Structure 1
Amino acid sequence: MSLPRLAEWLGPAVGTVDDGPDAVDGPRRWWAGPLDVEGLALGSVRAAVSAFRLLTGERGLAVSAAQVAGAFGSQEYLRVDGRTPQMFAPLSRWFRAADGWVRLHGNYPHHVLALREVYGVSEPEELVRILRDRTAAEIESAVDAAGGIAAGLRTPGDWLSSPAGQAVAAEPWISWRFGASGSSPPVGPGLSGVRVLDLTRVIAGPTGTRLLAQLGADVLRVDPPHRPEILAQHLDTGAGKRSVVADLGDPGTRSRVEDLLGAADVVVTGYRPGALDRWGLGEEALRERHPHLVVVVLDAYGRQGPWAGRRGFDSIVQAATGIGHVYGGEVGGSWRPGALPVQALDHATGYGMAAAAMALLLRRTRDGAGSAHLSLARTAHVLLQLPPVSGATRQLSVTTQQTHSPHGLLDHAVGPITRDGVPVPLGVPGRYGAADLSW
């Protein structure tokens, strides 16, 4: 079966591109379901490999279906000292509304506080009683206004006909802004010598920077002290990176970050649009002060339209864009919305971000640095628009490994790529927040 050619989205940055490895090691289908999640997964990883090949000239990387399946489902395979960490909190689930369904997200304490602010309660059973008397639109608007995260269930047609859906559809999967003429030395071997400042959270952005670290980049992730990352999330996506907690509200810290920017090659951001502007870390400000920087920006719903400033995670975007409706079905005698077999929007967007960063590094050697933008919602559009695939699914044997970390013994899936037939090693996730704010 053919594979989606997501590497074609790199064309505006690098010209004609190859489509990554000529073949994939393993089967084409392994997750049962109505959408081509496998195609999205394989296509996004192949796009990243294509960009790496163009940047470095190395041809030895290949894509393994079993490793891609493990990487996209990495949370399923993670164990810490033999224990399965909790990834989804009780509030991160579907709730019935008066006119349908709504998806909430409560993995982070500040999002739980937002729900309590709106409804006076934050226990799932109490919310079940309250939300069933309110429409999905009322719920998502009230929760969003309070700083929380919610989305009513839509069909794909309803989403695409809405102003928000039309705004997302008008953007490419990867949108580009290019800098003035200039040149920088080529990188390599691998991404050796490339410095990446990681200002992302949760899964998508950290997945992309984890791949850059896996390929040799020096990645430093910075988190705010008042909103630390979930430890299991750090252990899942922090391999090979250094982690620091720093208060950008402190002038001395901002000065040190400015020094980091001056010596960095890539900045990857993953906060809600405008959230970093007050620290001078928005896309335009970064490009103006540091024209040598490659900047890759992630958000939930794109740059334009009525939802451009909304918060969103993979599961929430699935609800809003209609994927939850596509995967719905009869459960216990009644219809319920469903979900993708893995958080594919997060992971595919992350590999797209890594591909964009490498494509822009290549362009920088000839024409100067530029920036790229991706959104979870636009990745949802890509998935919904992929042609259906047929054929039997095959079970895969996912490759896992054990790694000693400062937080315990980790069992985890290996990364999605091989070099000369051997999985490319993942580094060790360091102790959360313990690194220095320096290269």
Structure 2
Amino acid sequence: MDSDRQPGLLDLRSYLAPALETVPAPDGWWSGPRRWRAGALDAEGLALGSIGALVSALAALDSAQGDAASGSRVATSSALVAASFDSIRHLRVDGNSADIWAPMSGFRRTRDGWVRLHANYPHHAERLLAAMGMTSADQLDAALLERDALEIEDAVRSGGGVAAAVRTPDEWAATPMGLAAAGEPWVGLALDEAPSPRPVPHDGVGGLPPSGIRVLDLTRVIAGPSATRLLGALGADVLRVDPPQHPELLDAHLDTGFAKRSAVADLRNPEQAARVRTLAGEADVVLLGYRQASLARYGLDIDSLREAFPHLAVVALSAWGWTGPWADGRGFDSIVQAACGIAHLYGGLPAGTGASSTVPPGRAPSGPSTRDAAWRPGALPVQALDHATGMAMAASAVALLAARSRGVTGSARLSLIATANELLRARVPDPSGGPVALVLETRHADSAYGRLDFVPPPLILDGTQLEYPHPSERYGSAPLGWSHRG
């Protein structure tokens, strides 16, 4: 590994060092091939490394709770990791696959290039049309061809929608936001001595390290919910709270709602906002996935929560990082890929044109093919930024719990763009050999929405596959309260 590329994707756990006395590096924590897709970037290394960070954090928490075998209890495999990072594509509801992409979402041609739009949520679709001065999606393609990509990006973002011009990595790196995000770590930890240390709850159920902790999940889409899905599988009491005015997409809820309860609270109602703050004070960990400016109005941003509840571990997610002009802006995995150059690296000419479909690893992202009328941008084979950041959120939560056992508390800041930067900076292993077929294991369970077919959690505990304790429950069906903790 090059010295200027430290810590490297398989050593992402080193970012947890500020919260841990030592960062465990368990032997044999993963099995299977190192690469299985052989794409333009090391997406497999990102996936393995992010889960490896969680494995190390769990070992540290286990050790803090007095388990002498903590260094070898938790493991994973390439097949489990690959399936978990593509969980929604493997999800079936009564035999039907998930459908999360709305018609207006995706890449669109502009007058001078390409833009990526995100309109899966109805309110974002409405804002997109309003920003473009349209009333019907039928007018969209023609209107986009009359404007430049950056002009469209600015108009949609200014109107509260979600869009990004497709840039090369060099173009992104030269923007004010690219420059600001370049210096941010994958995990930004802020730690304090606890004024009144509290022991970390541990009920010992199944010997799982986070058993007994309370996790308040104020996130949505994939990254945060995938983190709490896994924490729930590890024994945490997870309560996810959503706003009634912007409900989660059903298939997204079914994919990430395992091992947790689902509640609804309208923070615009003072009584309900106060109730959610009370829940935060009673929790051990709070995960935040909404914009900090929005949360601050209700005292639910990082600073407000840490000031009010010093024992609390707060783990927060941003799309674009924590400094710079887009720091509090809206964004999704696909939009970040488009803006930062990943979509460009995975772009190319369609099959059958006689040219390579993607930019080869290590080659500059410019060239005649990018100016060809048939060239189009591409994307990572899975939403790896979301899932890897979700694993980083879970790892950060566990690392902060381990720190709490020493009387240290704090918060962690993560972002999709920081994860993208790790991926873009990493050396790409030798792609020779092509894709590798992995064995897919699935599970089945009856739910309030029908029979679910799904993949299991990506962890093996003491040689046994970790399982979800229950499938996704009916959306919004849980009361605003915690399960009993003895």
TM-score, normalization by structure 1: 0.97
Counterparts of 1:312-327 in structure 2 under 5 Å? 312-327=331-346
Q: Distance in 2 between matches of 1:166 and 1:152?
A: 17
State how far apart, in whole Å, the 2-side matches of 1:361 and 1:409 are: 35
Name the residue aligned to 2:213.
Answer: 194
* Contact 1:98–1:133 under 8 Å retained in 2: yes
Higher mean C-alpha deviation, range 174-183 or range 203-212: 174-183
Q: Which residue of structure 2 aligns with residue 363 of structure 1? A: 403
Question: What does the per-residue CA deviation read over 1:289-328, in whole Å, with 9 as the maximum and x for residues that have no partner?
Answer: 1111100000101110111121000000000010000000
How far has the Cα of 1:172 moved from its partner? 0.6
For each residue in 1:149-179, what CA deviation from the matched residue of structure 2 results, as whole angstroms up to 9, or x when unmatched? 0000011111112211111111111001112
1:3: how far off?
A: 6.0
After the TM superposition, which residues 73-92 of structure 1 pair with which residues of structure 2 at under 5 Å, given as runs?
73-92=86-105
What is the aligned partner in structure 2 of residue 34 from structure 1? 40
1:33-60, CA deviations, whole angstroms, 9 ceiling, x for partnerless residues?
A: 1100000000001101110111013332
Q: Distance in 2 between matches of 1:21 and 1:411?
A: 32
C-alpha separation in 1, matches of 2:134 and 2:268:
31
- Looking at structure 2, the residues matched to 44 and 121 of structure 1 have their Cα atoms a distance apart, in angstroms, of 42
d(CA) in 1 for partners of 2:385, 2:17? 22
Equivalent residue, structure 2, for 1:394: 436
Q: How many Å apart are 1:255 and its aligned residue?
A: 2.4
- How far residue 275 of structure 1 moved from its aligned partner, in angstroms, is 1.4
Counterpart selection for 1:307 from 326, 333, 338: 326
1:365: Cα distance to partner? 1.6
Structure 2 gap ranges (5+):
2-7, 64-69, 354-373
Stretch of structure 1 that moved more, 45-54 or 344-353: 45-54
Which of residues 117, 121, 129 in structure 1 aligns to 2:130? 117
Choose from 120, 128, 135 the match for 2:141.
128
In structure 2, what is the Cα distance between the partners aligned to 1:119 and 1:415? 41
In structure 1, what is the equivalent of residue 361 of structure 2?
Answer: none
CA shift for structure 1 position 217? 0.4
The answer to whether 1:245 aligns with 2:258 is: no
Shift of the 21–278 alpha-carbon distance from structure 1 to 2, 3 Å rule, reads farther
Residue 464 (structure 2) aligns with: 422
Aligned to 1:431: 474
Q: For each residue in 1:200-233, what CA deviation from the matched residue of structure 2 results, as whole angstroms up to 9, or x when unmatched?
A: 0100010111111111100000000000000110
Shift of 1:66: 0.3
CA distance in 2, matches of 1:196, 1:123: 41
Distance in 2, matches of 1:123 and 1:362, equals 52
1:68 lines up with 2:110 in the alignment: no
Shift of 1:15: 3.3
Q: Tell me the residue number matched to 1:292.
A: 311
Alpha-carbon distance in structure 2 between the residues aligned to 1:276 and 1:66: 37
Q: Which amino acid aligns with 2:410?
A: G
Task: Give the CA RMSD over aligned residues.
Answer: 1.5
Residue 124 of structure 1 and its aligned partner are, at CA, apart by 4.8
Q: Could you tell me how far apart the structure 2 residues matched to 1:16 and 1:61 are? A: 17
Farther-moved stretch of structure 1 (159-168 vs 232-241): 159-168
When residues 142 and 373 of structure 1 are mapped into structure 2, their CA distance, relative to the original with a 3 A threshold, is same
Question: Which residue type is aligned with residue 186 of structure 1?
Answer: V
Aligned equivalents of 2:153, 2:112: Cα separation in 1 = 13
Matched with 1:346 is: 386
Q: Which runs of 4+ in 1 moved over 4 A?
A: 122-125
Return the letter of the residue paired with 2:395.
A
The structure with the largest alpha-carbon Rg is 2
Q: CA separation in 1, counterparts of 2:314 and 2:426?
A: 28
1:367 is displaced (CA, Å) by: 2.9
Gapped runs of 5+ residues in structure 1?
A: none
Native 8 Å contact 2:129 2:137 kept in 1: no
Q: Normalised by the size of structure 2, how large is the TM-score?
A: 0.88
Q: Which residue of 1 aligns with 2:198?
A: 184
Cα distance in 2 for partners of 1:30, 1:421 equals: 23
Q: Which amino acid aligns with 2:243?
A: P
Partners of 1:234 and 1:432 within 8 A in 2: yes
State the shift of 1:395 in Å.
Answer: 0.7
2:375 is aligned with 1:335? yes
Tell me, yes or no, if the aligned pair for 2:320 and 2:328 is still in contact at 8 Å: yes
Paired with 1:41 and 1:187, the residues of 2 have a C-alpha distance of 29
What is the CA-CA distance between 1:180 and the residue it aligns to? Answer: 2.8
CA distance in 1, matches of 2:134, 2:476: 32
- 25, 32, 35: which is aligned to 2:31? 25
Counting aligned pairs with the same residue, the percent is 51
Q: CA deviation at 1:397?
A: 1.3
- The answer on whether the counterparts of 2:265 and 2:273 sit within 8 Å (CA) in structure 1 is no
Tell me how far apart the structure 1 counterparts of residues 26 and 449 of structure 2 sit (CA, whole Å).
36
Residue 170 in structure 1 maps to residue 156 in structure 2: no
User: Counterpart in 1 of 2:357?
Assistant: none
Give the residue type in structure 2 aligned to 1:254.
A
Paired letter, 2:380:
L
Q: Tell me the residue number matched to 1:409.
A: 451
- 1:329–1:336: 8 Å Cα contact kept in structure 2? yes
Query: Is the CA contact 1:184–1:368 (under 8 Å) kept in the aligned structure 2?
Result: no
